[in-house]
A and B are shown apart, each in its own frame.
Chain A
Amino acid sequence: MTRRLWLRIGLVAFVAAISIFYLYPPKKTINLGLDLQGGIHLVLGVDIDKALQIQVDRTTERLRSALEAKGIAVRKVERRGNTEIEVQLASPATWAEALTLFQKEFPSFEAKETDQSAGRLVLAMRPQEIASQRESFVRQGLETIRNRVDQFGVAEPSIQQQGDNRILVQLPGVQDPERAKALIGKTALLEFKLVDDRVDPTQAAAGAPLPPGEELLYERRTDPETKQERRLPIVVQKKPMLTGADVADAEVRLDQGNQPYVSLTLTPAGGKVFAQVTTDNVGKLMAIVLDGNVYSAPRIQERIPSGQAQITGSFTLEQARDLKIVLKAGALPAPVQILEERSVGPSLGADSIRRGILSTAGAAIAVVVFMLVYYRLSGLIADVALALNLLILLAAMAGFHATLTLPGIAGVVLTIGMAVDTNILIFERIREELRSGKTVRAAIDSGFSRAFRTVIDTHVTVLVSAAILYQFGTGPVKGFAVTLAIGIFASLFTAVFFTRLIFDIMYMRGRKVESISI
Chain B
Amino acid sequence: MLQIFVNANYDFVGKRRWFYLVSGGFMLLSIASIVFRGGLNYGIDFTGGTLVQVRYEKPASVEIVRRGLDEIKLGGAVIQQFGDAQEYLIRLHQVGEKPDALSKQIQDALAKTSGAKVEIRRLEFVGPQVGRDLQFQALYAVLAGMAGILIYVAFRFHFRDGVISVAAITHDIIVTLGALSVTNREISLPVLAALLTIVGYSINDTIVVFDRIRETRAKGIRKGQNWADLVNAAMNQTLSRTVLTSFTVFLSALVLLLFGGEVLHDFSFALLVGVVTGTYSSVAAASLVMDWEMWTRARSRTSGKLPARAEGKKS
Query: Is residue B263 within 8 Å, beta carbon to beta carbon, of the partner chain?
Result: yes
Question: Which residues of the other chain, A, contact B264 by a CB distance below 8 angstroms?
Answer: 355, 359, 406-407, 410
Query: Closest approach, in angstroms, between the C-beta of A101 and any C-beta of chain B?
Result: 41
Query: Is residue B244 within 8 Å, beta carbon to beta carbon, of the partner chain?
Result: yes
Chain B interface, DSSP helix/strand/loop, else mixed: helix
* Minimal Cβ-Cβ distance residue in A for B275: A417
Contact between chains at B237 and A473 (CB < 8 Å): no
Taking a contact as CB atoms closer than 8 A, the residue among B3, B137, B249, B258 that contacts A472 in the complex is B137
Query: Is residue A269 within 8 Å, beta carbon to beta carbon, of the partner chain?
Result: no
Contact between chains at B148 and A464 (CB < 8 Å): yes
Among A58-66, A212-220, A339-347, the stretch in contact with B = A339-347
Q: A254–B260 Cα gap in the complex (Å)?
A: 52
Taking a contact as CB atoms closer than 8 A, the residue among B199, B249, B259 that contacts A421 in the complex is B249
Question: Which residues of the other chain, B, contact A453 by a CB distance below 8 angstroms?
Answer: 211
* Minimal Cβ-Cβ distance residue in B for A354: B261
Query: Is residue B156 within 8 Å, beta carbon to beta carbon, of the partner chain?
Result: yes
Q: A250–B87 Cα gap in the complex (Å)?
A: 44
Contact between chains at A178 and B203 (CB < 8 Å): no
Q: A413–B156 Cα gap in the complex (Å)?
A: 29
Looking at chain B, what size class is its interface with the partner chain? 35 or more
Question: Which residues of the other chain, B, contact A338 by a CB distance below 8 angstroms?
Answer: 98, 125, 127
Contact between chains at B122 and A343 (CB < 8 Å): yes
Contact between chains at B145 and A465 (CB < 8 Å): yes
Among A289-297, A316-324, A367-375, the stretch in contact with B = A367-375
Q: A359–B271 Cα gap in the complex (Å)?
A: 15
Question: Which residues of the other chain, A, contact B152 by a CB distance below 8 angstroms?
Answer: 457, 460-461, 464
Query: Is residue B196 within 8 Å, beta carbon to beta carbon, of the partner chain?
Result: yes
* Minimal Cβ-Cβ distance residue in B for A357: B259
CB contacts under 8 Å to A, within B197-254, are: 197, 199-201, 203-204, 207-208, 211, 215, 237, 240-241, 244-245, 247-253
Number of contacting residues on A, CB 8 A?
A: 72
CB contacts under 8 Å to B, within A455-509, are: 457-458, 460-469, 471-474, 476-477, 480-481, 484
Query: Closest approach, in angstroms, between the C-beta of B100 and any C-beta of chain A?
Result: 8
With contact pairs A461-B201, A461-B204 given, residues A469 and B255 touching in the complex (Cβ less than 8 Å) = no
Question: Which residues of the other chain, B, contact A469 by a CB distance below 8 angstroms?
Answer: 141, 193, 196-197
Query: Is residue A18 within 8 Å, beta carbon to beta carbon, of the partner chain?
Result: no
Query: Is residue B120 within 8 Å, beta carbon to beta carbon, of the partner chain?
Result: yes
* Minimal Cβ-Cβ distance residue in B for A339: B127
Q: A417–B249 Cα gap in the complex (Å)?
A: 4
Query: Is residue A92 within 8 Å, beta carbon to beta carbon, of the partner chain?
Result: no
Query: Closest approach, in angstroms, between the C-beta of A420 and any C-beta of chain B?
Result: 5
Question: Which residues of the other chain, A, contact B127 by a CB distance below 8 angstroms?
Answer: 45, 337-340
Taking a contact as CB atoms closer than 8 A, the residue among A355, A359, A461, A477 that contacts B200 in the complex is A461
Query: Is residue A93 within 8 Å, beta carbon to beta carbon, of the partner chain?
Result: no
* Minimal Cβ-Cβ distance residue in B for A457: B207
Contact between chains at B204 and A462 (CB < 8 Å): yes
Query: Is residue B130 within 8 Å, beta carbon to beta carbon, of the partner chain?
Result: yes
Contact between chains at A457 and B261 (CB < 8 Å): no
Query: Is residue B304 within 8 Å, beta carbon to beta carbon, of the partner chain?
Result: no
Contact between chains at B193 and A355 (CB < 8 Å): no
* Minimal Cβ-Cβ distance residue in B for A407: B190
The digit string for B130-144, where 1 denotes a CB below 8 A from any CB of A, is 100000011011001
Query: Is residue A300 within 8 Å, beta carbon to beta carbon, of the partner chain?
Result: no
Query: Is residue B53 within 8 Å, beta carbon to beta carbon, of the partner chain?
Result: yes
Contact between chains at A362 and B267 (CB < 8 Å): no
Q: A428–B6 Cα gap in the complex (Å)?
A: 10
Query: Is residue B154 within 8 Å, beta carbon to beta carbon, of the partner chain?
Result: no
Contact between chains at A348 and B121 (CB < 8 Å): yes
* Minimal Cβ-Cβ distance residue in B for A462: B200
Contact between chains at B252 and A414 (CB < 8 Å): yes
Contact between chains at B252 and A473 (CB < 8 Å): no
Taking a contact as CB atoms closer than 8 A, the residue among B100, B103, B199, B248 that contacts A417 in the complex is B248
* Minimal Cβ-Cβ distance residue in B for A458: B204
Question: Which residues of the other chain, A, contact B6 by a CB distance below 8 angstroms?
Answer: 435
Question: Which residues of the other chain, A, contact B121 by a CB distance below 8 angstroms?
Answer: 344-345, 347-348
Query: Is residue B256 within 8 Å, beta carbon to beta carbon, of the partner chain?
Result: yes
Query: Is residue A43 within 8 Å, beta carbon to beta carbon, of the partner chain?
Result: yes
Question: Which residues of the other chain, A, contact B104 by a CB distance below 8 angstroms?
Answer: 178
Contact between chains at A465 and B189 (CB < 8 Å): no
Closest 3 CB pairs of A and B: A465-B200, A417-B252, A417-B249
5 more A-B residue pairs beyond the given contacts A359-B264, A465-B145, A477-B189, with a C-beta to C-beta distance below 8 A: A340-B127, A363-B251, A414-B249, A417-B248, A461-B153
Residues on B lying within 8 angstroms of A by beta carbon are: 1-3, 6, 53, 55, 98, 100-101, 103-104, 119-127, 129-130, 137-138, 140-141, 144-145, 148-149, 152-153, 156, 189-190, 192-193, 196-197, 199-201, 203-204, 207-208, 211, 215, 237, 240-241, 244-245, 247-253, 255-256, 258-261, 263-264, 267-268, 271
User: Can you list 19 A-B contacts with CB-CB less than 8 angstroms, sorted by A residue number?
Assistant: A43-B130, A177-B123, A338-B98, A338-B127, A339-B129, A343-B103, A343-B122, A347-B119, A367-B251, A373-B2, A374-B244, A407-B190, A410-B267, A414-B197, A418-B252, A421-B204, A453-B211, A457-B153, A468-B141
